[in-house]
Structure 1
Amino acid sequence: MSKPQAYYSWYNLSVQIVFALCLGSLTYGYCFSIISTTLGQPGFYAYFGLAAVATDPNYAYTNRILGATSGLFSAGAFMGCWTMGWMCDARGRKQALWIAATISLVGSALQAGSAAIGMFLFARWLTGYGVGNLVTLIPIMQAEISPPASVVLVAGYTVAGWVGFGCFFATNPNFQWRFPLAVACLWPLLTLAVSPWIPESPRWLILRGSKDEAWTIIAKLHYNPADPEELYARREFDQMCRQVENDRLYFEHESVVDLFRKPSYRKRMICGFLTFFSNESSGILVIYNYSVLIYKGLGQTGYMPLLLSGVYVTLGAMGNWVNSMLVDRVGRKALFLTGLSGMLVSLIAETALVRFYAGTAGHGGLSAALFFIFLHLVFYGCCIDANSFVYCSEIFPTHIRPRGMAWSVGTLFLTTIPYLEAAPTAFATIGYRYYIVFIILTAINIPIIYFFFPETKGLSLEEIGEKFGDDVAIHLTNQVEDDKKEMEANMSAFETVRDP
């Protein structure tokens, strides 16, 4: 008896492309990233009457507005995460996608058309709310529809960086900052356009009792002309049904409090929290969101800060591709530890260089400081970014996955609110010392992850639960060993009968 091989149809691969590129990479990545280039456009400061240089008397007010611009986005995203945790359970993954894409579209349009700073700040909050919806929902749908190895590729960062750089040279100062924000409307529009071809999550359908509809989707995802009996699809469907029925006992009676009361759930919630808390406490989003301002502080002028920002996000997108290649070869936990350790070393070197060379004419030291900013990103992109969403979408069982992802990704935005809100003022007042906060937190998080996180590499979604102490209804990943033992036992019995 041989184990049927996993096979994913072109329909399945197209689903991956839609979600990884159009939704994850473009809608979330672009909306999140574009503010970095907006802060480098002279037209943005001129239109809203903000100070563009530190010697301006209104510079303190400008810092508060810049902090609010990022802080309100993160606050909206945090609320969006928790709303999505309920919505995609109550209304289904597909309907939740329509709502989230529509909110992102409206928010992006309001940003591009803002007539006053108050309107712009509200639009930042609304866009953040839509992004929080999407960044919670997309990993759930990837985990439940695409193969377990698929990851989110953050191509949207690159698009945002280069669109912003190109618009710096526009002669119309309003076009400089409005057009890049308007481009953000394209990606949720594309999402809504392709959504009719995106299937509902079969695991959610099984949980709701729609097994026939779920089987139709599974059979289509794993359609293989070489397997007319659909053996792999049937085995995966059987595993899903058994595990979901096993989980259904908890689904109707559990509250949010129960997520922390049951030991296996509590460990998942702690891992989800620490995953994104450790990421953001490395200072990655502070450096990225204010990268243009940081480059200016390191002596870069004119178009160079925006050019470096474009190179930075391109490198980040390439790092995510490397991450997708490594995540199933190296393992989730090993990548977390490698990435955080490399970022810690980079932060220490960056802090020392900024301490001695910022504001000076020491070109060698300033260039070295730029190098370590980029090295910091390389470790994050190659080891942590996509890996975080994969890990958190895997560790939660179907019946609590939306709430678990809402909690995990919500941590990302909740953590960034104080970091991003304080950053402009902190850089203007205490300078390099602000990096020390992230050095200390990263040094604390590394041993916590080493001793506490379980590895999930090579396991199906259902089997990962065993790592956290749950009962697993059926083991699909280890089935090949069971089949081998069964075959050997049958052969042994045959030999005994044939030659007593």
Structure 2
Amino acid sequence: MAYGKLTLRDIAIVLALSLGSITYGYDFSIISTTVGQPSWYAYMGLTTDATSPNYSFSNSMLDTVFGLFSAGAIFGGLFVGWYSDAHGRQKALLIGNLINIVGGALQAGSAHIGMFIAARFITGFSGAMIVTLVPIYIAEVAPPAVRGLLVGQHGAFFLVGYTLAAWVGVGSYYSPNAAFNWRFPLSLQVLWPLLQLCVLVWLPESPRWLVRQGRSDEAWRILARLYHNPSDGQQLFAREQFFQIKAQCEADQAAYGDVNYLDLFRKPHFRKRALIATLVMWASQANGAIVIYSNIVVLVAGLGFDNAESLFLAAGWITLACVGNFANAYYLDKLGRIRSLMIGITGCIVCVIIEAAIVANYGGTDNKSALSAGVAMLFLFICFYAGFVDTTVYVYCSEIFPTHIRAKGMGWSIAIFFLSTLPFLESSATGFATIGWKYYLLFIILPSINVILLYLFCPETKGQSLEEIGAFFNDNVAIRLTHISEEEKRALDERILAEQTIINGQDVSAASNSADSEKTPKVTV
């Protein structure tokens, strides 16, 4: 990753962490195909027949299944913010994966709807831990120039999880074994965390967290490996990054000391970040994306397609979303975070307006052209949401908090993400069943307001180092490395070389050039 160039080691780290992204994506999305399996309804004693006396109860249970995942995720996001600061990113990821395996196994083995709902809560708790940790870790090892691309892989790969869940659901639908139809897709939830556990011991700890814990020697060894540049014998890029991280951590410690969740709101610099993260996460969900994600099979079926057609169209919709998220990650460093959000949410508003009009006028009819246009609007919606919003929110919220409160800030952001989903998930099945197309009005009015708020209050962070983003929130930035003149950079590099060349009797440049050595160079600034 030195000077923005990726190495095989960097790619391997991102791919290993992205197993966690797949875990969350599969956990969240598998319920969409599960509720499209008639055998699941039959086993759980539920119905999709609107004339059945059990229909109202079934809708309330369906809302609870969706809602309890989000409720568990709220607690999981807040818990991991504390735990990963206290015990490290690597250990927190270990705990999250272990809990996730338990939740997935309980879902696959559920004997009744109550057990299934409880298992969804457990899976939501652990899924939030993982979805919080992955972007934090990648952000804390990525250089500024390509941070959007690398952190964006988190959003792209949890769409891989969505896609896998969708197509596994399609394949399982055709099994003559009623239990296999829904138990097998649910059982695959344990595969992805098991795979991550296999590679977790190989992943290095976050160097920024290590510096915060006073373990600078370990942090230097990791940075020297991550940013090793064979063409630069002095390893200036690695030195600059270490110098800036350590200086900023010392400045933050002197200014704020140890922080807790209450400090997110007691200290003005942190409160502004927390409010902006709240706005960004709320805006990402108040456009209807979570409702369409969770109910895509049901929505397509409501446009006149049978079960098999609905599952295929839903799987194609999720696959398109996956492609869109990779595209979002690719151009995010060029387009910018806030511009991406505004373009994506505005596009979603237009699609929902047209979708609502189609459902209002042609829903329940046999007008195939109009109903096909309704499906087309759902596909265009996901092009805007996946292409501009879905990846961006994780990148942005992982950037705006400083190291000493990043995990808590990201945990808060994920909690808000899922808290924002609760009113929609708890009401969506009942809402569509009772007021029909009018339910879409929520996703026209709310995002229209949010686009204005994003423009007015959210600073652009592309191209800035994590330590320098604090300037947007009136923090003291100890060392600037980006957007400085060549003369300033030369002077800074001379200072870094003078202070870091020989440390504790060791030549740092030699240590950098042999970064794969097991010997840990002792570094101080």
Report the TM range for the smaller structure's normalisation: over 0.9
Cα drift, residue 253 of structure 1: 4.1
Structure-2 separation of matches of 1:264 and 1:364: 53
1:113 corresponds to 2:109: yes
Quote the residue 1:269 is aligned against. 274
Structure-2 separation of matches of 1:34 and 1:209: 42
Partner SS, residue 477 of structure 2 = coil
TM-score after normalising by structure 1: 0.94
Partner SS, residue 307 of structure 2 = coil
Quote the residue 1:498 is aligned against. none
> What is the correspondence of 1:445-460 to structure 2 with a 5 Å cutoff?
445-460=450-465
Quote the residue 1:57 is aligned against. 53
Partner SS, residue 115 of structure 1 = coil
Quote the residue 1:38 is aligned against. 34
From 172, 176, 187, give the equivalent of 2:177. Answer: 172
Structure-1 separation of matches of 2:179 and 2:130: 29
Change (3 A) 1:250 1:34: farther
Change (3 A) 1:482 1:409: farther
Structure-2 separation of matches of 1:481 and 1:292: 56
Amino acid at match of 1:76: G
> What is the correspondence of 1:183-202 to structure 2 with a 5 Å cutoff?
183-202=188-207
Partner SS, residue 334 of structure 2 = coil
Structure-1 separation of matches of 2:254 and 2:45: 59
Structure-1 separation of matches of 2:188 and 2:487: 53
1:299 corresponds to 2:304: yes
Quote the residue 2:291 is aligned against. 286
Quote the residue 2:399 is aligned against. 394
Cα drift, residue 229 of structure 1: 2.3
Change (3 A) 1:377 1:6: closer
Aligned residues between the structures: 482
Cα drift, residue 228 of structure 1: 2.7
Amino acid at match of 1:15: I
Partner SS, residue 245 of structure 1 = helix
Quote the residue 1:129 is aligned against. 125
1:93 corresponds to 2:98: no
Amino acid at match of 1:13: I
Amino acid at match of 1:35: I
Amino acid at match of 2:125: Y
Cα drift, residue 312 of structure 1: 0.9
Quote the residue 2:98 is aligned against. 102
CA contact (8 A) 1:298 1:366 kept: yes
TM-score after normalising by structure 2: 0.90
Structure-2 separation of matches of 1:276 and 1:400: 18
Cα drift, residue 6 of structure 1: 4.4
From 223, 245, 260, give the equivalent of 1:218. Answer: 223
Point out the more displaced range, 165-174 or 245-254: 245-254
Structure-1 separation of matches of 2:316 and 2:375: 12
Partner SS, residue 329 of structure 1 = helix
Change (3 A) 1:448 1:482: farther
Query: Which runs of no fewer than 5 residues in structure 1 stay unpaired?
Result: 488-500
1:237 corresponds to 2:235: no
Amino acid at match of 1:23: G
Percent pairwise identity: 46
From 466, 470, 473, give the equivalent of 1:468. Answer: 473
From 141, 153, 172, give the equivalent of 2:137. Answer: 141
> What is the correspondence of 1:249-268 to structure 2 with a 5 Å cutoff?
249-250=254-255, 252-268=257-273
Structure-2 separation of matches of 1:190 and 1:57: 44
Structure-1 separation of matches of 2:331 and 2:200: 30
Structure-2 separation of matches of 1:65 and 1:388: 30
Partner SS, residue 468 of structure 2 = helix
From 172, 178, 181, give the equivalent of 2:186. Answer: 181
Structure-1 separation of matches of 2:133 and 2:238: 24
CA contact (8 A) 2:77 2:129 kept: yes
From 16, 20, 23, give the equivalent of 2:20. Answer: 23
> What is the correspondence of 1:356-375 to structure 2 with a 5 Å cutoff?
356-375=361-380
Structure-2 separation of matches of 1:424 and 1:270: 30
User: Which consecutive segments of 4 or more residues in structure 1 shift more than 4 A?
Assistant: 483-487
Cα drift, residue 80 of structure 1: 0.2
Quote the residue 1:493 is aligned against. none
CA contact (8 A) 1:108 1:123 kept: yes
1:1-36 CA deviation, whole Å, 9 max, x = no partner?
xxx94444321221111113x111x10111010000
CA contact (8 A) 2:36 2:307 kept: no
1:204-241 CA deviation, whole Å, 9 max, x = no partner?
10001000011011111112222232221111111111
Q: Report the RMSD for the aligned CA atoms in angstroms.
A: 1.5
Structure-1 separation of matches of 2:398 and 2:104: 27
Amino acid at match of 2:10: N
Query: Which runs of no fewer than 5 residues in structure 2 stay unpaired?
Result: 493-525
CA contact (8 A) 1:9 1:223 kept: no
From 6, 9, 20, give the equivalent of 2:7. Answer: 9
Quote the residue 2:500 is aligned against. none
Partner SS, residue 327 of structure 1 = helix
CA contact (8 A) 2:481 2:489 kept: no
Structure-2 separation of matches of 1:331 and 1:251: 30
CA contact (8 A) 1:8 1:223 kept: no
Quote the residue 1:412 is aligned against. 417
Quote the residue 2:517 is aligned against. none
Quote the residue 1:163 is aligned against. 168
Amino acid at match of 1:117: I
Structure-2 separation of matches of 1:338 and 1:367: 25
